Amino acid sequence: MRSLTIALALFALTLLIGVGAVVHADGLPRPMIVGGTDVPDPNPYTYQVSVGTANSYFCGGSLIAANWVLSAAHCFVDAQTGAVTDAATLVVRVGLRLQSTATIDNNRAVIQLITHPSYDRATSLNDIALLQLATPASADWVVPTADAANDPALTVPGTTSTATGWGGLLGYDPSQSEPTGGQQYPDILHVVQMPIAASEICGINATQICAGEVAGGKDTCQGDSGGPLVVSNGPGGYIQVGVVSNGPGCAAAGYYGVYTRVGSFHNWIATVINPVTLLPQAYLPLVMR
């Protein structure tokens, strides 16, 4: 699990960052970008959104349609009770590079939150969620998502993947709950590139992806949960293959970040976003001969 809470003084346009990572009820810290860099200006990762409440940021997400955000279920499900966050309390902020520049124009209310019905808090399987926005963002900011057909070619081990987020900057060993001396969180969106690793190396489920360097040093970490893992689509753009889910420590040697495999959930996403409306059936009169 890789989420945290960061207080935002939005009207003062000042980012108030806590001394250390805020820990969820299960006692586990949540992810951040480690070993990355500031995103350039103008921001090429316009699909990245900030998810929180009126005064906080705790997870990332991605625009997969003008009015739909893809994120992680664990961001919204209490680790102990399984209670789901009230959608009315959530705020999605779009079009941001710096959290401190957020204004009312960046805010989007959430009218519907749907976590995967088979999300398992104990194993982190099916760690995926969708948020419907009350007001759409720019359609130009949307990132396409992988499906079951193109996923295998997009996620071949060794493929360079890209993760973005406002999570912590310092890596730490799985035996720790945070870096020695506390974690550091950026105001500016960060980006890191990592190779996708073979599933058997990470010991993950077929509906998951892992990525990172065997020597460590690059990873997502606390605060990056729900954010996108993308790969090149060839013509210079990106396609989303993963959602930041969990991982032992952050950027430690011999460990990898774990991501929900988007292609495995393509049909579920499509069903939620474009529900099939059943038309009334027409019954023809029975003609007796």
Enzyme catalytic residues: 74, 127, 225
Distance CA 193, CA 161 (A): 6
For the chain, the straight-line distance linking the first and the last C-alpha, in angstroms and rounded, comes to 68
**CA nearest neighbour of 162 among 269, 45, 261, 30:** 45
Q: Two tokens at 188? A: 């500016």
Report the b/e string of 138-169 with b at 16+ CB within 10 A.
Answer: eeebbbebbbeebbeebbeeebebbbbbbbbb
